[in-house]
Amino acid sequence: MLDSKPLLFPSAFPRIARRQLRTLQVNLGYRCNQSCVHCHVDAGPKRSEEMDAETMEAVLRYLAQGGVELLDITGGAPELNAVFRPLVIGARELGVHVMDRCNLTILDEPGQGDLADFLAAHSVEVIASLPCYLEENVDQQRGSGVFDASIRGLRALNARGYGDAEGGLALNLVYNPVGAALPPAQCALEADYKRELASRYGVRFNRLLTLANMPIRRFGSWLQSTRQFDSYLAMLKEAHQDANLDAVMCRDLISIDWQGFVYDCDFNQMLDLPLSVDQGERLHIRELASPDALAGRDIAVGDHCYGCTAGQGSSCGGALS
C-alpha cells in the first residue's frame, strides 16, 4: 500500500497552543475486525499491535493524579484487546467518564456476546461509526455485510437503554464522507439519520457527529491511487476557517499510542509526530507531567491539520461550528 504524502513541517497552518488537559485519548492498538477505506489508523484483522497490561496500568496511574475528566478509548477495535475491560473498570473507579469508539460490528464477534451489558453496567458512552443510514453506502466504505451487523449492534445497545433521550447511556453515531468531500451540515444530517434509522429499523441514538476524512494512512493512500490527493488537500486549505482554531480537540486532549508514547492528537500519532518536549525526545506516559503542566505548550501542526479546521470544522466530538 502506498504511504500518504508527507504533511509535516514546513506548513502554513497557524500556530496553536495547549490549554488545560481534560481528555486522555488512548489507542489500544491497530487490530480490528474491519478494514475501512477511510481509516486513518490503517487498522485491520492482520494488525497485531496492541497495548499490554503494564502500559495500561501506567495510563491508570496518570488518571489517578486527577484533572483528566474523560478517557476516550479508541483503536482498531479497542474491545478486542484484553486490557480494554480492566482499563474501563479502573477509570470508572477513579470517577473518570469513559468513551468507547466502537465500530458496532464488534458486538457481533465471537466472545463479545456480553459486551453491550458490560458497557451499560459501567455507564460507558458509546461513539459508534455508521457512515450512512443506507446499506449500500456503508458496505461500500466498510465491507459487505457491515451495515446489517451494525444495525444488530445498535439494537443490542438500544435494548440496554442506550440512545434514550431521558436516559444516562449516551449513544452517538459518527459520519464520515464516502469520498473526497467535506461532510455536510451536522444538524441537518442528524435529523435525516434519526428519521431514517427510526422508520426503517426502529433504531434510536442521541447525537450524530460529522468528521472529515484525514488525508493520511489508508485514506491518504486511496487519495493518491485515485489521483485526488492534491485536490483534496487544496480543498481543505481553501475551506479553512480561523474561527475553528479555538475549538480544535488538541487544545485540551493528548493521544497515547499502544506503546504508551504521547502525541498531541490521534492524527499526529499516525504520522509519528510526537508531542513536543524541551529536548525533542519522545515522551512516554510514565514520564508525562501532571495535566496542569501541559498548558501553554505549542502543538505540533502540519498540513493535515486543515482537516480539522475546514468548513464547519471537525474533531472527535463532531463539527466545531
pTM for the full predicted model:
0.91
Measure the CA–CA gap between 174 and 190, rounded to whole angstroms.
Answer: 10
pLDDT in tens, 37-58: 655 666 677 887 899 999 999 9
CA dihedral in degrees (140, 144, 147, 151; nearest 10)? -170
Tell me if 218 is assigned to some domain.
Answer: yes
pLDDT band at 118 (very low <50, low <70, confident <90, very high): very high
Tell me if 262 is assigned to some domain.
Answer: yes
pLDDT of 40: 64
Q: Is 60 exceeded by the pLDDT of residue 7?
A: no
Q: What is the CATH number of the domain that holds 161?
A: 3.20.20.70
Domain around 101: 23-229+252-297
Tell me if 313 is assigned to some domain.
Answer: no
DSSP 89: H
Tell me if 70 is assigned to some domain.
Answer: yes
Tell me if 311 is assigned to some domain.
Answer: no
Tell me if 15 is assigned to some domain.
Answer: no
What is the tally of structural domains in the chain? 1
Tell me if 7 is assigned to some domain.
Answer: no
Q: Is 60 exceeded by the pLDDT of residue 3?
A: no
Measure the CA–CA gap between 306 and 223, rounded to whole angstroms.
Answer: 16
Tell me if 237 is assigned to some domain.
Answer: no
Q: Which stretch of 101-105, 138-142, 253-257 has the lowest confidence by average pLDDT?
A: 138-142
Measure the CA–CA gap between 285 and 299, rounded to whole angstroms.
Answer: 17
Q: Is 245:213 a contact under the CB 8 Å cutoff? A: no
pLDDT of 280: 60
